Amino acid sequence: MGTAPQEDSNPQVPVLDALGPSGAYRTHNRQQILDVTGAPLAEMSLAPALFVNRTMKALRGAAPLPAPERAAALARAGELFRTATLGGFSPQEYEQAVTRVSGLPVNVVRTATRTCAERVGQSYRSVLFARPDGAVSDWRDPLARTGQALWTRRGEVLAVHVPGNHPGTHGFWPEALALGYRVAVRPSAREPFTAHRLVLALREAGFGDGQVALLPSGHEAADAILRGADLAYGGDEIIRQYADDPGVLSLRPGRSKILLTAGTDWREHLDMIVDSVVRHGGTGCVNATAVLLEGDPAPLAGAVAERLAALPSLPPSDEKACLPVQSAKSARALETYVLERARGTRAWLGGTGFVDELGDGSAVLRAAVHQLDAADAPQLGAEMPFPCVWIAPWTRADGIAPLRDTLVLTAVTEDEALIDALVAEPTISNLHIGSHATHWHRPGLPHDGHLGEFLMRSKTLVRV
C-alpha cells in the first residue's frame, strides 16, 4: 500500500531508486511503501517531470540492440530475475517484500517469481508466434527481393504502467524489448518491487540504460511518460484515462468464467472449479469469478462453498496460507461494497461478512460464494480481488450473451455448435474446452491477444 509522497526519508528502510539514462537516481521526494499491517517497508524515489522528459528523450535516441543480442539478454534476464541479488534484495528477500506489501501468500509469490522469470526468458521466442506467417522481420531477408510483407514496429518507445495486484503482470511487457522497443516502466506504488527487480535484471543482462528505464512518479510526471512514448500499455488509473486512444492498450478486468452444459456431471470437475477460483489467492484476472451451469446450481454452489470454507486464515508469510490479506481498513471497505453488491442473491459463504482480522492491522479476505437467480444477473460481471464466485443457472435460451466480456472461458461441453459460437465471439479472449482451469497458460500463447499484435504492423517491401 502506498501513501502520499514523503519529503523526509527513513534511514531504516531501503530506497527503490528511479533508473534513468545515467543509472540510479535517488530523489528527495519519495513515497512510503507500507505493508499490509501499515508498517513502513521501503521508500520509492519519485522522478520529477524534468527527469522523466530527459529519460524519454534518451530512450528515443537509443538504437535497439541487434536481434540476437536481444534474445540472449532476455534469456539472461529471466535467470537473473529468478536467482540473483538485485538492488540489495536476494530472491528470498524480494519474495518476502512482495508478500508483505501485496498480501499475496508467499507460495503464490514464489510461484509467480518462477513464472515471470520463464516468461521473460522466453520473450524473444514468444513474440515470433505473433508474427504473420507471410511476413519477414528483416528487410535483408532474401524473400524481400520479390516482394514480401515486413513485420515492423509501430513506434520506438513504449510506456508501461503495470498494476500491482500480482507479480505475474510483469511477465508480458518485456516482449516489447524483444521487438526492439525501448521501454519506460512506471511501477505501481502498491507493489513496486517486481518492476524494480525486473528492470535491474534486464540492465544487468545486457539492455543498456538507454533501452529500459524505471520511472516511479506522481500524476504529472506519469502523464509526461505517456506523452514521451509512441505507445502505452498497462492498467493503472493513468492508462485508463487514455483507454480510447488507439496508441494505448489498456488491460481490462478478466471476468473469467466456467460453463458446464447438460450431460456434464459437475462433481467430476469440482477440483478444477475450486482451483480456478482460489489459485493465486483468487486475485488474478484469470481466476474464475462466475460459474454457469445448465441445471440447478444449488448443489454445485454448496459443494464449492464447503471446499472454500475449509481454507485457513493465515498471515501471508505462512507457508500454508492460500488466501489474500489486506489492511483491515481496506478489507472492511471491500466487505461493505461486496455485501451491498450481493443483495438479493443466495449466500452460501460470506453472506454476513468475509473479513477475518489477524490482530496486527491486517485481515484475511476469506472466500465468498453467492448463487444468482439467472444468467443475466448484474453480479455476474463483478470481479473482486479475492476468491469471490457467483454461480448461476444457464439455459440454451440465454445463449452466449452471459459469457461475453470474458478473458478466459472454460467450457465443459461437447456441443460443437455452442463451441463454434464461443470461438466466434470476439469478446471472449481465450477458450478452454473441457476441464482446464481458467488460470492455465504457457509462454508463447496469447494472454489477451499477443502483445505483438498491438506493437507491430506489416508493410509491403520489395527491393532490388
- The CA radius of gyration of the chain, in Å to the nearest whole number, is 23
Distance CA 60, CA 261 (A): 52
Q: What is the pLDDT of residue 377?
A: 97
Helices assigned H by DSSP within 15-105: 49-61, 67-83, 91-102
Q: Record the pTM.
A: 0.94
Cell readout for 391 is 454461480
Helix (H) or strand (E) holding 23: strand 23-25
Distance CA 296, CA 367 (A): 22
Q: List, in sequence order, every residue forming a beta bridge with 158; answer none if it has no partner.
A: 183, 231
Q: What is the pLDDT of residue 87?
A: 96
Element counts in the chain: helices (H) and strands (E)? 14, 24
Residue 123 CA, chain-centre distance (Å), reads 16
Q: List, in sequence order, every residue forming a beta bridge with 293; answer none if it has no partner.
A: 260, 393
Check: CB of residue 280 under 8 Å from CB of residue 441.
no
Q: What is the pLDDT of residue 463?
A: 83
Q: What is the pLDDT of residue 239?
A: 80
Q: What is the pLDDT of residue 238?
A: 77
Which domains, ranges and CATH numbers included, belong to the chain? 2-251+448-458 (3.40.605.10), 256-433 (3.40.309.10)
Check: CB of residue 316 under 8 Å from CB of residue 103.
yes
Check: CB of residue 206 under 8 Å from CB of residue 65.
yes
Extended beta strands in 194-301, E state:
212-214, 231-234, 248-250, 256-260, 288-293
Kindly list the distances between the CA atom of residue 323 and the CA atoms of 108, 144, 191, 337, 387, in Å, as whole numbers in the listed order: 10, 54, 18, 19, 8
Cell readout for 319 is 507457508
User: Looking up cell 456431471, which residue turns up?
Assistant: 265
Residue 314 CA, chain-centre distance (Å), reads 24
Distance CA 351, CA 328 (A): 18
Tens of pLDDT along the chain (464 residues) come to 444 444 445 668 999 999 999 999 999 999 999 999 999 999 999 999 999 999 999 999 999 999 999 999 999 999 999 999 999 999 999 999 999 999 999 999 999 999 999 999 999 999 999 999 999 999 998 888 888 999 999 999 999 998 888 999 999 999 999 999 999 999 999 999 999 999 999 999 999 999 999 999 998 899 999 999 999 999 877 787 887 889 999 888 899 999 999 999 999 999 999 999 999 999 999 999 999 999 999 999 999 999 999 999 999 999 999 999 999 999 999 999 999 999 999 999 999 999 999 999 999 999 999 999 999 999 998 999 999 999 999 999 999 999 999 999 999 999 999 999 999 999 999 999 999 999 999 888 999 999 999 999 999 999 87
Q: What is the pLDDT of residue 11?
A: 67
